[in-house]
Amino acid sequence: MLNTIQWPGQQELQAWRHDFHRHPETAFQEHRTSARVVELLTSFGLEVHTGLAGTGVVAVLRGNRGDGPSIGLRADMDALHVIELNQCEHASTHAGRMHACGHDGHTTMLLGAAKVLAAHPDFAGTVHFIFQPAEENEGGARAMMADGLFERFPMQAVYSMHNWPGLPAGAAAVHATAVMAAFDIFDLTLSGKGCHGAMPHLGKDTLLAACQLVTHLPALIAREQEVHKPAVLSVTSFNAGDTYNVLPEQVKLRGTVRCFDMDQRARIEQRLRDAIAATCALHGLESHLDYRVSYPATINNPQHAEVCADVLTALLGAENVKRDLKPSMASEDFAFMAQQCPGVYIWLGNGESSASLHSPKYDFNDSVLPVGVRYWVELVGALLRDGKLPV
């Protein structure tokens, strides 16, 4: 397909991306972004559907070679509640919000592929272009599925990508199985008896108990979990007290648990509950734990991952396709889609000097835009050229 296609130019792709970057919108508020996506997809002549999970968009393209499998290509659209520190011309114009994770680039690359494929539908089957809201913490993939994504648009496989700082531009990573960890969060309130700081024997010390938990909880990973099954338990917020001479009545902790094995995930939650109960019993406290199972682990389908790796090898060269990178302990709600049907989630290099994801100085690398477009187009060709998917 490469020799016959007129590809979107760098300036066109960059203009789309910069427009999205200037106008970041957070979870389920992507109204302007969604409208612009619909405008472009409609101009390409695609069948466009709106309203899934509020701001989600799905465009449908049927190949000119007749019937065949249906697949989905997914990009996320939402931004983050981050104050941008970049001074570039396309910096955020929405105070306190920015595209600090590159979803502006993901959306642009999928739009570029939709434009190319709409003009050259040389395949058998159907492609669904999925533009998803609310990837960051809010489970937009799950919300689109609850609104009938896979019932209204049946597909036999689904694919996604994410830019990856530290990985060179022009390189990519494909995992055979686990890519991103499961993600749980918890809020814990310890309640005791406040008292004068000079008379601790008159109270029930929530601060002391909370400090013991903060230092003890990591041992649930270091000493109780199998070392070949990575896991993380981190207390990320500690709120207590208002003044110098009062031991507080309450302490509030927040944190996150991440792992890949779902049985291990259940064991960690139970041991967290056990540790809280034991600490509270020791200090005579009460507790309230709100533990929320958020995202499952993102697990690639091995057979489909091989197809993705082959496509990337043809585009980038074998030396630029990494097959041995460790999975990330970060999380991704594409995991919900990959649970429903075979899925593959790849990493596309954003450059070795790129600021990290979620940094206020992060910016998507515009030189990567054409690479992502070509990957999507060639992947469709590899999957649907012969009218059958890998098994």
Query: Domain ranges in the chain?
Result: 10-180+297-385, 182-295
- CA gap 214, 170 in Å, rounded: 42
C-beta separation of 148 from 133 below 8 A = no
pLDDT at 378: 96
Q: 237-246: long-range contacts at Cβ-Cβ below 8 A with a sequence spacing of 24 or more?
A: 238/210, 238/214, 240/206, 240/207, 240/210, 241/207, 244/197, 245/196, 245/197, 245/198, 246/194, 246/195, 246/196, 246/197
- CA gap 233, 208 in Å, rounded: 20
Q: Which of 63-67, 332-336, 365-369 has the lowest mean pLDDT?
A: 63-67
Class of the CATH domain delimited by 182-295: alpha beta
Residue 1: is its pLDDT beyond 60? no
Distances (CA, A) of 116 to 1, 319, 374: 10, 27, 9
Q: How confident is the model over 29-48, as a mean pLDDT?
A: 98
pLDDT at 2: 54
Q: Above pLDDT 90, what percent of the chain?
A: 93
CB atoms within 10 A of CB 2: 11
Angle between helices 10-22 and 103-119 (to 10 degrees): 140
**Given pLDDT bands bounded at 50, 70 and 90, which one contains residue 137?**
confident
Which comes out higher in pLDDT, residue 391 or 94? 94
- CA gap 144, 131 in Å, rounded: 10
Q: How confident is the model over 383-387, as a mean pLDDT?
A: 85
Nearest to 368 by CA among 320, 303, 318: 320
Q: How confident is the model over 42-70, as a mean pLDDT?
A: 97
Q: Please give the structure tokens belonging to residue 101.
A: 């994770």
- CA gap 274, 139 in Å, rounded: 28
C-beta separation of 135 from 332 below 8 A = yes
Class of the CATH domain delimited by 10-180+297-385: alpha beta
Grouping H, G, I as helix, E, B as strand and the rest as coil, residue 56 is strand
What are the binding residues for Mn(2+)?
A: 101, 103, 136, 162, 358
Q: Which of 247-251, 263-267, 316-320, 367-371 has the lowest mean pLDDT?
A: 263-267
CA gyration radius for the chain? 24
Nearest to 111 by CA among 48, 182, 22, 165: 48
pLDDT one-digit tens code per residue, 152-186? 999 999 999 999 999 999 999 999 999 999 999 99
pLDDT one-digit tens code per residue, 203-222? 999 999 999 999 999 999 98
**Given pLDDT bands bounded at 50, 70 and 90, which one contains residue 389?**
confident
Edge-to-edge strand ranges of the sheet holding 70-76 = 47-52, 56-62, 126-132, 70-76, 157-164, 343-349, 172-173, 321-322
Distances (CA, A) of 228 to 29, 221, 337: 40, 12, 26
- CA gap 10, 209 in Å, rounded: 57
What are the binding residues?
A: 101, 103, 136, 162, 358
- Identify residue 248 by its one-letter amino acid code: P
pLDDT one-digit tens code per residue, 217-254? 999 998 888 888 899 999 999 999 999 999 999 999 99
CB atoms within 10 A of CB 231: 23
